[in-house]
Amino acid sequence: MKTLNRKPRSGRIARTTAATVALCILGGAGTAYAYWATTGIGNGSATNGTMQTVTVDALIPGDTLQTSLVPGGSADVVLRATNPNSHAVTVYGIAANGAVTADAAHPGCTTTGVTFTPPAAPLAPTVTIQANTSILLTLEGAASMSAASLSACQGAQFNVPVTLEVRK
């Protein structure tokens, strides 16, 4: 019987495994380098829309007050806010924007004695005005009248100029 002098295969398997591991490491390192070192060139564009002004209107027929203002007392302020935008907006804050005046039917009411106390910003709970809609906001107890109010102010409706801060 003839015996063959064979080399064990374990050396070849070890070399193949080592070469495969080395290639994987080098391939991974090359991929990582390419990921971090690559730059690209391209074109892009965007447009910035302009948000339209959300308005506050005077009361209209159908908008009714729930409380009346008397000297030494307070009453609710009702605002009709209109959002002409194509997206909803959130009312963040409300601020006084001038002197409170009486309606045209009460020209003798030159000293109203009325003050407006706006709610703290941000409003809680939040108030959202949907796209292209109007809402009524009732600010409970936001108007107060001092004893300095003239008698000619009896029965008057008061115009309270306000500014709304809204955010998209």
Let me know: does 114 contact 68? Beta carbons within 8 Å.
no
- What pLDDT is recorded for position 68? 81
Report which of 75, 71, 77 is spatially closest to residue 113, judged by C-alpha positions.
71
53-80 pLDDT, tens digit per residue, is: 887 775 654 556 667 888 999 988 888 8
Does residue 125 have a cis peptide bond before it, meaning omega lies within 30 degrees of 0?
yes
Task: Give the model's confidence band at 42: pLDDT under 50 very low, under 70 low, under 90 confident, else very high.
Answer: low
pTM of the model: 0.65
Class of domain 55-167: mainly beta
What rounded mean pLDDT belongs to the chain?
Answer: 80
Note the pLDDT tens digit of each residue in 109-152.
Answer: 999 999 999 999 888 889 999 999 999 888 888 999 999 999 99
Say how far residue 168 (Cα) sits from the centre of its chain.
4
Convert the pLDDT of each residue in 87-97 to its tens digit.
999 999 999 99
